[in-house]
Amino acid sequence: MVRAIRGATTVLNNEKTEILNETKKLLKEIIEKNNLEKDDIISIIFTATKDLNAVFPAVAAREMGLNDVALMCMNEIDVPDGLKKCIRVMLHINTSLEKDRIKHVYLNGAKVLRPDLS
């Protein structure tokens, strides 16, 4: 069965190292909390707010060895008063887990996006 896992994090600065490190932390936590193997991951969509352009967040996934996973980066819609410096992810996975067993992950300032899950 194909399921989706959502997650998000924020960074303090539009810096390559910080964006990559925080994206890796987010992906690692999603993978660990959901007991995923690399082969379980079909694709990952990354979005970043317009104030983050120092690096593609997908580079973090490649650096983690997710080389056979389809990755795509996009800009998040620029909503007035929306959360700034935010990276969001949606992983599509093959799993036998029921919907209510999926663990979505929100870190740093992104916890405000889904306080019910944080």
Q: Is 76 designated active site?
A: yes
Catalytic residue among 3, 22, 86, 88: 88
Q: Say how many Å lie between the first and final Cα of the chain, rounded.
A: 25
Catalytic member of 32, 62, 63, 101: 62
63-89 burial code (b ≥16 CB/10 A, e <16): ebebeebebeeeebeeeeeeeebbbbb
Residue 88 designated active-site: yes
Does 41 belong to an annotated binding site? no
114 is catalytic: yes
Is 3 labelled as part of a ligand binding site? no
The verdict on whether 6 is a catalytic residue reads yes
Q: Confirm or deny that 6 is annotated as ligand binding.
A: yes
Ranges of beta strands (E only) in 63-115 are 70-75, 86-94, 105-106
- Which amino acids are annotated catalytic? 6, 62, 73, 76, 88, 106, 114
Annotated binding site: 6, 88, 106
